[in-house]
A = this chain, B = another copy of it.
Amino acid sequence: MRSTEPDPYQRGCPSRRLLDRIGDRWTVLVILTLREGPRRFSEIRRRIDGVSQKMLTQTLRALERDGLVTRTVHPEVPPRVVYELTALGRSLIGPLDGLLGWATANLPEVEDAQEGYDRELLRTPR
């Protein structure tokens, strides 16, 4: 049996393209931040611990290019730039929540497994 293996994961397949997009350290966090509503650049920056201004700019540009986020410049002084999820961006929240829920429920078990693994390594160094 087992006649039908699915296709291998080729470079351009949906899984790969998705991972290339949201598989970096900041993209998902920005989307989750914007789920609360439109936010200014500095607000987003404050809510994501450790993101540099450069990385946040890059991430937001990529999200805008992907059609997941809109960028609105209010012509004032000082400038005010507001980012907001598009409908497409919001549609990603459900699936992301699925993963987040898994993380909340199962990360403790993952970390237990890590401890066990590391302890075993110490006992049998090689």
Interface positions of A (Cβ within 8 A of B): 2, 5-6, 8-11, 14-21, 23-25, 28-29, 32-33, 36-37, 46-50, 64-68, 88, 91-92, 94-96, 98-104, 106-107, 109-110, 112-114, 116-118
- Copies per assembly: 2
User: How would you classify the secondary structure of chain A's contact residues: helix, strand, loop or mixed?
Assistant: helix
Contact A117:B5 (CB < 8 A) given known A10-B49, A14-B104:
no
Q: With a CB–CB cut-off of 8 A, which chain B residues contact A24? A: 23
Whether B36 and A15, one on each chain, are in contact in the complex, defined by CB atoms closer than 8 angstroms, is no
Q: Is the CB of A49 within 8 A of B8?
A: yes
- Residue of A14, A20, A117 with highest tally of chain B CB at under 10 A: A14
Decide: A114 near B29, CB < 8 A? Known: A24-B23, A50-B11, A103-B14: no
